[in-house]
Chains A and B, each alone.
Chain A
């Protein structure tokens, strides 16, 4: 398993109307890599992440995840693949009106039957997996709180606990820390690495220094194309200033 790449993009492009969000991107991300996606607003980071979990299809080229071509999958096989991919975004997408435990359980829904999900909603209960995940993010006390009553930072941790429960092999994070202060951002990034030390992580970031601290590799996107692709140790000022330069 380890020798085949987790992600393989070959000449991938994505058009919206007449605009190219991504052009001719070819990449290979191996098992266990932690990749930071850097780039200005509109560089194509979110589009790339959406292509990687199959919520968006490429208009040209091929996207292979875990060795499977996403465009060739049936809805059922795509779902099976997606259950191995954990996505977090700045928006969190939590279900606001329910107790925290239901949001955590949402992470293991792909493994549950519909009746079991309904029963868990009607008569709340927490299993060891859910409780363990909540303890790891320090929210054990909030298991039965209402989600919309938590603070911003606490909700962020709920989203991460949901991810832990899902236990994905690949984590895609779209600007998970852009609205957080530095201390909290570091905490969140550390937690994102937690699902499993050997999980692959692709994360879009605005802060190069966080990429250097938490990732192994940095990919810069500019105008929908790969501007650089280097180990984080090689990130330097000239490379970055080129990336963020205004056209």
Chain B
């Protein structure tokens, strides 16, 4: 995940009051030359081409077939099944049950993540502590911070596999696998939200003689609550996707049914289940975006990145919701009864956590994990796994970018002179289809895409990259299309008014901003993609995930520990590099800009309900 820890407010005088654009005096010493600009272009090009060429070379095996021609017929059958989904009553009731189970996993997992997030967020935030906590507390906080970073660098699916080896195939596994990594991520974001609250307001209350605890309650709660709520709904939306995905390990829900139907080659059932997944995730999307549309602030992980992704603050529409609305109230009212009902309806019980057997197994697992050992084959296997993971992530992003470039432009709202003409209506219809396609790509979990890809391709980097690329393409395409929709179109219109043709005006005025957004989001998703490679690895593609699954299956725990450490290291390295590159791309020196700052101005316009989310 991306983050900027910088939090110092931009000094007020650094902003041109009349126009709102950042003023940055270009001193006499700073002159950009033509060769410098061209050099940057070349470096950028090389940064794309070299990793791509390397990844391709690594992925395409020498002298071995890539395409499994025997499997092509299966794909054909699968495609033919789309028009004949299974509608048998028995099966439909099974699907409904599975959907409820998935929903329960997501709801309970989110609840757990929020609990972890609130506690962890308060521990991590600077505002919540006295100016200079004692050294012991500071050391403890650093430990917690590092621990949370490591926890969220491991994918949910990997957590699920670890929990399975302690708890068995208990539904609790799915809940915990969502709650633990999501909780770590939520804690980080909550801490940033709390620290983003205007310190002046806190100082004001504090200076009026209030106690520290009172200050926090009065100063923080009203300002931070809408943002916390908004982020919680975003997390729930992500949890739905995760809950589907986690079915793969065999703990129930739509994901498990999908795998069973796929492996028994029952294509009709597969399509029914895909439809169910689509409905569930589209409903979660819509619901979450409605609720969040009423709340102020951009708190989606990927939205918050937008500021970093070079969307100029001057042109970005202010996102200010009133914090009141029908959707929010109804959801808040429904939330507690629904959670309780979900709890009762599910087989989830905490008993498994406290049982002596679990304790024994946990101690045994921790004991087995330490000290870590190299996999059979030694360093070369480990390094090979790391390189495979990276190559797979690079190729997956290439696939995702192709998906985005092909589908994305059609998924944007057109700027037509006559929207009601036949052409306008056709364009609108195409947009609906394009958005639906992106929804399918991102709603079907990457594991399922991988299983499908493995029907036609021999195991290796390629099927993994293809699966991950399709899934990520669904997310990236939608993010980028939304960013493109919000581009400032006035320069384009100005050019057209100066007699420049429509296509030419679009090329000249929109190429740079839209490609910059594409690149920034691609880098951001690349960081996540590296982590997600574990998912396709588990079903047999390649990389660290595959090594992990193989070694876990034969209880080679010291190796498992090494692989875990390696994947944490790779994820963090990718995050670090990605952040550096995005910063370099922005072309401006790293500036202070809080990510999650509550909107301070009153609502200027009705909240522009940017349709919902995406992501992990």
| B-binding residues in A (CB < 8 A) | 53-55, 78-87, 89, 91, 93-99, 102, 105-107, 109-110, 112, 114, 117-118, 121-126, 141-146, 148-152, 155, 166, 179
Contacts and interface: CB of A to CB of B under 8 A. Distances in A.
Interface in B508-561: 508-509, 511-513, 516
A87 B34 contact: no
Contacts of A124: 34, 37-38, 41
A114 B504 CA distance: 6
Contacts of A87: 494, 497-498
A97 B499 contact: no
Indicate the member of B38, B494, B498, B507 with the most A CB atoms within 10 Å.
B498
Interface stretch (B19-27, B77-85, B163-171, B210-218): B19-27
Contacts of A148: 21-22, 312
A96 B498 contact: no
Nearest to B18: A179
B19 A152 contact: yes
Contacts of B37: 99, 124, 144
Contacts of B504: 109, 112, 114, 117
B491 interface: yes
Given A109-B508, A121-B507, A148-B21, A93 B491 contact: yes
Contacts of B420: none
B513 A95 contact: yes
B490 interface: yes
Contacts of A123: 38, 41
Nearest to A179: B18
Contacts of A84: 499
A141 B508 contact: no
Contact of B497 (A53, A118, A125, A150): A53
B16 A151 contact: yes
A79 B501 contact: yes
Nearest to B45: A122
A126 B499 contact: no
Interface string B305-346: 000001010110000000000000000000000000000000
Contacts of B21: 96, 148, 152, 155
A89 B491 CA distance: 11
Contacts of B23: 151-152
Contacts of A93: 490-491, 493-494
B508 A121 contact: yes
B513 to A, nearest CB: 5
Nearest to A126: B34
Indicate the member of B23, B494, B503, B513 with the most A CB atoms within 10 Å.
B494
B356 interface: no
Interface of B: 16, 18-19, 21-26, 31-34, 36-38, 41, 310, 312, 314-315, 488, 490-491, 493-495, 497-501, 503-505, 507-509, 511-513, 516, 587-588
Contacts of B508: 95, 102, 105-106, 109, 117, 121
Contact of A114 (B26, B36, B493, B503): B503
10 contacts: A55-B493, A79-B501, A82-B499, A87-B498, A95-B491, A110-B501, A117-B507, A124-B37, A145-B32, A146-B32
Contact of B499 (A80, A142, A146): A80
Contact of A106 (B26, B490, B509): B509
Contacts of A105: 508
Nearest to B510: A95
Contacts of B19: 152, 179
Contact of B507 (A97, A118, A141): A118
Contact of A142 (B26, B36, B38, B501): B26
B512 A97 contact: yes
B32 to A, nearest CB: 4
Contacts of A78: 499
8 smallest CB-CB distances across A and B, nearest first, come from: A83-B499, A82-B499, A93-B494, A144-B32, A98-B512, A55-B497, A97-B513, A110-B499
Contacts of A121: 507-508, 511-512
Contact of A144 (B18, B24, B33): B33
Contacts of A96: 21, 312, 314-315, 488, 513
B495 A109 contact: yes
Contact of B500 (A81, A86, A109, A125): A109
A179 B498 CA distance: 23
Given A91-B490, A109-B505, A83 B312 contact: no
A82 B490 contact: no
Indicate the member of B25, B314, B488, B497 with the most A CB atoms within 10 Å.
B497
A114 B512 CA distance: 15
B26 A97 contact: no
Contacts of B24: 149, 151
Contacts of B511: 118, 121
Nearest to B511: A121
Indicate the member of B508, B509, B516 with the most A CB atoms within 10 Å.
B508
B25 A151 contact: yes
A149 B26 contact: yes
Contacts of A143: 34
Contacts of B26: 142, 145, 149-151
A53 B314 CA distance: 28
A114 B511 CA distance: 13
A81 B499 CA distance: 7
Contact of A102 (B16, B499, B500, B512): B512
A95 B499 contact: no
Contacts of B490: 91, 93
A195 to B, nearest CB: 13
Contact of A110 (B31, B41, B500): B500
B493 to A, nearest CB: 8
A87 B512 CA distance: 23
B122 to A, nearest CB: 38
A110 B509 contact: no
Contacts of B505: 109
Nearest to A146: B587
Contacts of B314: 96
B18 A152 contact: yes
A91 B493 CA distance: 12
B202 to A, nearest CB: 33
Nearest to B487: A97
A201 to B, nearest CB: 16
A95 B500 contact: no
Contacts of A146: 32, 587
Contacts of B500: 79, 83, 106, 109-110
Contacts of A114: 503-504, 507
Contacts of A85: 498-499
A105 B315 CA distance: 23
Nearest to A125: B34
A13 B289 CA distance: 44
Nearest to A83: B499
Contacts of A83: 498-500
Nearest to B31: A141
A79 B36 CA distance: 36
A141 B26 CA distance: 10
Contacts of B31: 141
A53 B493 CA distance: 13
Contacts of B494: 87, 89, 93
A142 B27 CA distance: 11
Contacts of B499: 78-85, 110
Contact of B516 (A94, A97, A110, A151): A97
Contacts of B491: 93-95
A93 B494 CA distance: 7
A125 B315 CA distance: 28
Contacts of A145: 26, 32
B509 to A, nearest CB: 5
Contacts of A109: 495, 498, 500, 504-505, 508
